[in-house]
């Protein structure tokens, strides 16, 4: 066996270590930062990628003008970074890495199946377009940068700012030393970025164009699917707001960076049929890619420009384009059917995606409006609720979950076959289609807690009703921030893989509690058998997320009092006598280090840890006693015994303030280094967490009718209810990772068998 390349091995190990940090969940998309390493004249410009669920990793640009090029490339989505060198490391399936680009991982001795996750190292020379394998010196640079980013992240200092086309300051990581002596420091530095270049400077406009009292809206539609996969292409539309008409449009790609400026120049000159010549009073942009290219020209001529999140006219136009595109796709020649089954995960995923599109087109084409209304009412609870969910909760993809239910489970009458059951009777189905339809019909429908994720590969999930665990294969979902949450899903066995499909809204553990109580109030049992008989019950959950049904969050202290900070002052005739009275007072302790008294009561807070509960703090400053408590009830109780203390105590005044996230002291809101917690402290916290969870079994729970979980678990239905609560209990976070509740121990304590 040949000796492994130590540099290559270090690169592969560090790439996996970087991947485990899941930086794409913390860093904004396109956010830029700088990395300085020894012996390099210019800092590297870096961005973290993977926010879209694939190609997780780092892209680095190097060279004197790297920052200018990077900013221009992101702002305009043009073919940028050609004039600068590029280094990158991304994570994807081994099979997706071209054989001639596997030199580094092969030298490292990396071996895995085609579908396994592997690091892809690439370099590009300035003024060239084609990527290549990195040289030895480039590998050392990439290793130093990755290690520097890791050190900055682990120190809590990797705070990447949102992208700006005109950045003033950026985070800079400085790497020093090498090997085990490598270290990294961070600071914020001023940067001077050249203005984003626009092709409008070379466009000629007549000097006497009129001024129009109009407002235009410019945005993009059909961001995907316009051109080849390697071309970044968008569809641009300009709408006259007062007329409600689209007055100009074009397709703009990274290969044609001047397409958008030319569109606006022609529009201003009156070369479009629906719009006369002239400058509008104002232009609203829903996409910064358009704004940065034409705003300089418009502002030079006195046109107001603003960037907004969305505009209803652009949204309506986008919906129309989506419909037209879908109609066009239906008319495209179908891919030739084959009886050969895919052999890879990617092959099965592609086949499933194509079949899903065909099935959705078929069911839509065969359905009448009344039939669709009945289906919506069945899945969402009522037609009105369904319409409201589909219009207000679009970002959570209720339509996809509805369509999956409509294909697999909807029966217009008790004797009707489902749409998939009818499709299975078709004689023209190929083996792939038949296998995928059968997998959908036999899917395991339930609510699953996401136990663990391996970004870019798979997820481990647990059925919250029976505790069964599965490994689900979905590269995109595995990279999302879903660990610890719960998702209603259909799990389909396809070859040797398990595919997920959404069956309802993704939920936090708190949402699950609301959802289960809601389903019980609707008469549904909490079991997989109930879901099998009434699969639409998962669709009913959507309505608890509607704005009108969202619970008002009320912050309370451990006594159940409304949280309201009270700071009260009392005048003292004899502060020394009052201090002696505080020392003698029961359940008031003095801290000699900071000179304050703590008012407490025996018994730990619930929920929480410890043997005592802190009720308030007291300080004496000159002739004043200052009391701070967090509720009106505690203030009233404290005032009674404080005024009875010796030393002539007389109430002066009290001020209150609500508890708000932004109300913390300014110094508490400043960035600070993460404090290292000892393993012993983590162990103590874990022990206290276990004890708190076990005590919960014998504490009264309002959601259980003020009975204890152990009391409720005396019946089969009660055990099922408590088991769901236990399986969806959240973990508590720590520097070494989440500390999970002792779920198996708790389940055994209430008589629920646990399979190991």
pLDDT at 323: 63
pLDDT tens for each residue of 447-467: 999 999 999 899 999 999 999
pLDDT at 230: 40
**Token pair of 745 as six digits:** 């121990």
pLDDT at 228: 38
From the list 285, 327, 342, 7, the residue with the least C-alpha distance to 144 is 7
172 near 36, Cβ under 8 Å?
Answer: yes
- Report, as an integer, the average pLDDT of 589-613: 81
Residue 229: pLDDT above 80? no
pLDDT at 719: 92
pLDDT at 510: 84
pLDDT at 675: 66
Provide the whole-model pTM.
0.75
- Report, as an integer, the average pLDDT of 6-18: 94
- Residue 143: count other Cβ atoms within 10 Å of its Cβ: 22
pLDDT at 257: 66
**Residues belonging to the chain:** 756
Distance CA 526, CA 531 (A): 8
Distance CA 280, CA 83 (A): 37
Residue 500: pLDDT above 90? yes
- Common-topology check for domains 199-323 and 564-658: no
pLDDT tens for each residue of 335-392: 456 678 998 898 999 999 999 988 888 887 766 667 788 999 999 999 999 999 998 8
481 near 500, Cβ under 8 Å?
Answer: no
At the top level of CATH, which class does the domain 199-323 belong to?
alpha beta
Beta strand pairing call for 56-62 and 85-93: antiparallel
Distance CA 706, CA 683 (A): 32
- Residue 403: count other Cβ atoms within 10 Å of its Cβ: 21
Q: How many helices (H) and strands (E) does the chain have?
A: 24, 23
pLDDT at 52: 79
Sheet order of strands, 444-454 included? 469-473, 458-463, 444-454, 486-494, 497-502
- Report, as an integer, the average pLDDT of 494-505: 95
**Token pair of 447 as six digits:** 């609510």
From the list 330, 309, 311, the residue with the least C-alpha distance to 319 is 311
Distance CA 52, CA 476 (A): 8
Distance CA 485, CA 58 (A): 27
DSSP character for 674? P
Residue 674: pLDDT above 80? no
3 state DSSP class of 218: strand
- Report, as an integer, the average pLDDT of 620-628: 95
Q: What separation in angstroms does the CA of 480 have from each of 24, 25, 51, 54, 305?
A: 9, 7, 8, 10, 35
Helix axes 398-408, 383-392, angle to 10 degrees: 140
Give the confidence band of 165 by pLDDT, cuts at 50, 70, 90: confident
178 near 151, Cβ under 8 Å?
Answer: no
pLDDT tens for each residue of 273-328: 889 999 999 999 998 888 888 888 898 889 999 998 888 888 888 877 766 655 55
pLDDT at 325: 57
- What is the chain's alpha carbon radius of gyration, rounded to the nearest angstrom? 31
Give the confidence band of 668 by pLDDT, cuts at 50, 70, 90: low
Span of 61-75, 539-553, 601-615, 681-695 with lowest mean pLDDT: 601-615
- Residue 463: count other Cβ atoms within 10 Å of its Cβ: 18
Distance CA 47, CA 23 (A): 10
pLDDT at 708: 94
Cα 738 versus chain centre, distance:
18
Q: Where are the domains of the chain?
A: 6-190, 199-323, 345-549, 564-658, 681-749
- Report, as an integer, the average pLDDT of 588-605: 88
Distance CA 244, CA 266 (A): 20
From the list 196, 220, 207, 212, the residue with the least C-alpha distance to 275 is 212
Cα-Cα-Cα-Cα dihedral sign, residues 75, 325, 475, 346: negative
Query: What residues have CB less than 8 Å from 338, skipping those under 6 apart?
Result: 430, 432
| % of the chain beyond a pLDDT of 90 | 55
Query: What residues have CB less than 8 Å from 288, skipping those under 6 apart?
Result: 75, 165, 307
Name beta bridge partners: 610. none
3 state DSSP class of 585: coil
Q: Which CATH number fits domain 564-658: 3.20.170, 3.30.70, 3.40.50, 1.20.1070?
A: 3.30.70
Average pLDDT, rounded, for the chain: 87
Concatenate the DSSP letters of all residues of 29-40 into one string. Answer: TT-EEEEE-TT-
Residue 200: pLDDT above 60? no
pLDDT at 114: 86
Cα-Cα-Cα-Cα dihedral sign, residues 744, 749, 750, 756: positive
Residue 216: pLDDT above 70? yes
Q: Is 300 exposed, middle or buried (0-12, 13-18, 19+ CB in 10 A)?
A: exposed
DSSP character for 181? G
């Amino acid at each position: 066996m040949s000796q492994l390349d130590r540099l290559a091995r270090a690169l592969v190990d560090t790439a996996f270590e970087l991947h485990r940090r899941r930086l794409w969940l913390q860093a904004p998309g396109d956010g830029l930062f700088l990395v300085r390493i020894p012996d390099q004249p210019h800092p590297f410009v870096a961005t973290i990628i993977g926010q879209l669920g694939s190609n997780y990793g780092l892209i680095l640009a190097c060279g004197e003008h790297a920052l200018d090029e990077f900013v221009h490339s992101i702002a305009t989505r043009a073919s940028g970074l050609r004039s600068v060198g590029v280094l990158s490391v991304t994570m994807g399936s081994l099979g997706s890495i071209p054989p001639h680009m596997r030199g580094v991982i092969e030298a490292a001795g990396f071996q895995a199946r085609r579908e396994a996750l592997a690091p892809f190292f690439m370099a590009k020379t300035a003024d060239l377009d084609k990527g290549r394998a990195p040289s030895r010196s480039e590998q050392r640079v990439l290793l130093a940068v990755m290690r520097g980013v890791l050190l900055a992240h682990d120190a809590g200092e990797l705070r990447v700012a949102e992208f700006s086309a005109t950045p003033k300051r950026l985070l800079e990581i400085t790497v020093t030393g090498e090997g085990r002596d490598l270290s990294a420091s961070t600071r914020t530095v001023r940067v001077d970025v050249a203005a984003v270049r626009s092709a409008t400077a070379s466009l000629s406009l007549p000097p006497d164009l009129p001024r129009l009292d109009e407002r235009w809206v410019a945005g993009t539609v059909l961001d995907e699917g316009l051109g080849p996969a390697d071309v970044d292409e968008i569809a641009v539309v300009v709408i006259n707001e007062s007329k409600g008409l689209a007055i100009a449009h074009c397709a703009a790609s990274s290969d044609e960076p001047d397409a958008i400026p030319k569109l606006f120049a022609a529009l201003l000159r009156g070369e479009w049929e629906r719009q006369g010549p002239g400058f509008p009073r104002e232009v609203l942009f829903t996409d910064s890619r358009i704004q940065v290219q034409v705003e300089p020209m418009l502002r030079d001529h006195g046109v107001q420009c603003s960037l907004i999140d969305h505009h209803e006219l652009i949204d309506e136009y986008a919906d129309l384009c989506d419909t037209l595109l879908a109609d066009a796709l239906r008319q495209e020649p179908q891919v030739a059917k084959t009886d050969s089954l895919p052999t890879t995960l990617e092959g099965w995923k592609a086949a499933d995606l194509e079949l899903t599109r065909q099935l959705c087109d078929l069911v839509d084409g065969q359905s009448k409006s009344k039939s669709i209304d009945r289906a919506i009412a069945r899945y969402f609870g009522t037609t009105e609720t369904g319409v409201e969910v589909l219009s207000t909760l679009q970002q959570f993809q209720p339509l996809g979950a509805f369509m999956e239910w409509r294909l697999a489970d909807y029966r217009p009458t008790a004797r009707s076959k489902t749409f998939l059951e009818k499709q299975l009777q078709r004689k023209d189905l190929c083996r792939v289609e038949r296998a995928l339809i059968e997998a959908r019909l036999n899917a395991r429908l339930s609510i699953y807690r996401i136990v663990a994720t391996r970004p870019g590969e798979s997820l481990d999930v647990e059925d919250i009703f029976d505790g069964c665990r599965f490994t689900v294969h979905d590269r995109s979902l595995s990279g999302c921030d879903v660990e610890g949450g719960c998702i209603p899903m259909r799990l389909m066995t396809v070859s040797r893989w398990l595919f997920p499909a959404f069956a309802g809204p993704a939920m936090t553990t708190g949402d699950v509690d609301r959802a289960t109580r809601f389903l019980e109030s609707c008469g549904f049992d909490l079991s997989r058998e109930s879901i099998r008989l009434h699969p639409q019950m998962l669709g009913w959950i959507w309505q608890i997320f509607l704005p009108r049904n969202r619970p008002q969050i009320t912050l309370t202290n451990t006594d159940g009092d409304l949280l309201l900070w009270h700071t009260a002052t009392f005048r003292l005739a004899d502060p020394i006598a009052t201090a002696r009275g505080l020392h003698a007072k029961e359940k008031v302790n003095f801290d000699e280090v900071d000179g304050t008294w703590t008012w407490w009561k025996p018994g730990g807070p619930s929920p929480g840890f410890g043997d005592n509960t802190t009720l308030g703090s007291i300080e004496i400053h000159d002739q004043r006693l200052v009391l701070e408590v967090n509720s009106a009830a505690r203030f009233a109780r404290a005032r009674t015994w404080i005024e009875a203390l010796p030393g002539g105590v007389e109430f002066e005044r009290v001020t209150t303030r609500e508890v708000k996230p932004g109300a913390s002291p300014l110094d508490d809101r400043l960035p600070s280094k993460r404090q290292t917690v000892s393993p012993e402290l983590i162990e103590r916290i874990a022990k206290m967490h276990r004890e708190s969870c076990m005590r919960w079994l014998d504490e009264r729970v309002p959601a259980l009718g003020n009975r204890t979980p152990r009391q409720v678990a005396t019946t089969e239905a009660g055990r099922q209810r408590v088991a769901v609560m236990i399986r969806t209990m959240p973990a508590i976070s720590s520097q070494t990772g989440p500390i999970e509740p002792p779920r198996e121990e708790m389940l055994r304590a209430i008589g629920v068998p646990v399979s190991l």
